[in-house]
Every structure is written in C-alpha cells, then in structure tokens.
A and B are shown apart, each in its own frame.
Chain A
Amino acid sequence: MSSRPRPVPSPTTQPFWDATAQQVLLFQRCTACGHAQSYPRPTCTACAATSLDWEPASGAATLHTFTVARRATHPAFDGTEPYVVAIVELAEGPRVTGNVVGCDVDDVRVGMPLELVWDDAGEDGLRLPLWAPA
C-alpha cells in the first residue's frame, strides 16, 4: 500500500486519476490546435480552447532534469531519503513531475530514457505514475 500523500481529484482531474487505477497515464490534447498538456486543466494553455480530448501516454519518456533529495522534503517521505525528484518529458511532449525509481540514485543522469512504472495502489485505489530507466 502506498504511503505517499494522496491526490484529491477535482471534476477536471478525475478522469486522469481514474485511469491510473487501470495503469493508464492520460494527458490532454486540444481539439482545436493539437497542443498536448499535463496536468489536466479545463482550457488549452496554447490557444485557450475549451475542448480537450484525453489521450493515453505511450509510457516512453526522457529525464529532463532531477535532483537527489538527501533530506526528506515532506514528512511522508521521512526515512525514504535519498530519493529522486524529477521532471520527466513524455514522448508526446508534456513535462510532468515524478520520481525515478528502480536504480541507484547516483546512476541517474539528465537525458536518460525512462519508462513508466506504477506505484502500489493507495486505499483510494489510485496509483501514482513513477519512472524507471528504460
């Protein structure tokens, strides 16, 4: 069972979190201009359109940048340090915040290819998307 802080979905973000239970990572695609974005918002950040479709991400990604947190950044992470906090660029374009897991923190490098893995489900049934070296 995941002990991480839990997201509290809003009506706009509910489909995103519901999909995580099925281990599907969604992002939004603007029906007007084709812009891809994440996290979910009610409007397109490129053209202000209000019509956005959901698309599943392939799970392929690149590590845009990261840090190794040598000290816990939140009480829920106490005792789990060192851990990697990262900005991950999806193959489809949007950048998302995440964690790189499944390797030594000292082996993490900017630009490394990543693949989507899933945290254990929480009591709420939702899962958090995580990233491992591809």
Chain B
Amino acid sequence: MALDKPYKDVPGTTIFDAEQSRLGYHLNQFCMSLMKPENRARFKGNERAYLDEWPMTEEQKQAVLALDLNRCIALGGNIYFLSKLGATRGKSFQQMAGSMTGLSEEEYRKMMVEGGRPIEGNRYIGEKR
C-alpha cells in the first residue's frame, strides 16, 4: 500500500524523506566528508578523482561538479549535507539557496530584504496567483 505523502503537491519543493535519503545516501555521505579540512583540500585538488572514490551515480557526480543544487536534490541530496559542498566552494547559505531559484544573487538578496518570497500563489502546484 502506498504511504501517505501529502507534500508532493507543494511547488518547487522536494521533501527529504526515507525514499530520497536512500537514493542520496552516498552523495550525502560524500558531502559529509567535506567537514574535514584535509578532505576539503583533497577535493579541491582534484574534484573528479575525489568523487570517483565514492559509489555515486555518474549523474550525481556531474551535478556535484556543476554545483547544480536542484539536480543534486532531485538525485537524493539534502540541503544540509549539500551546504558542506557549497562551503567548500566558498558559497554562503544565501548564495546556495538563491542559486536554486533562477534569480541572480543580487535579485534573490533583494527579494529577501523586501520580505521574502510571498506565500500567495506558492502553496500548491498549478495554483493561480
């Protein structure tokens, strides 16, 4: 019997549930390894070689190399793990979050200062604004 997942109709949102976690296990554990300075140095020295030490899919590795966070999340990544990757690449949390929205860094920052993304029109997929 299918489990109840009422969050599937929230637009622009992937909930990191047990299913996503299973898909992204190695991707997220790779990110976790970047909490150690020596691993960050090795990764920065040769990103591809470091990634190849992990049993991740080729698609996951490409998403990491491109720092395509939306793609990483679709492939099982979680933002709190991915933040370690962003930190290693010198990105702040705001730069990381903004990179997923299609806005420029400046546009995203401005949206936040002006009160953030409004809830109206953003509750359900296909909702009319």
Q: Do A and B bind each other?
A: no
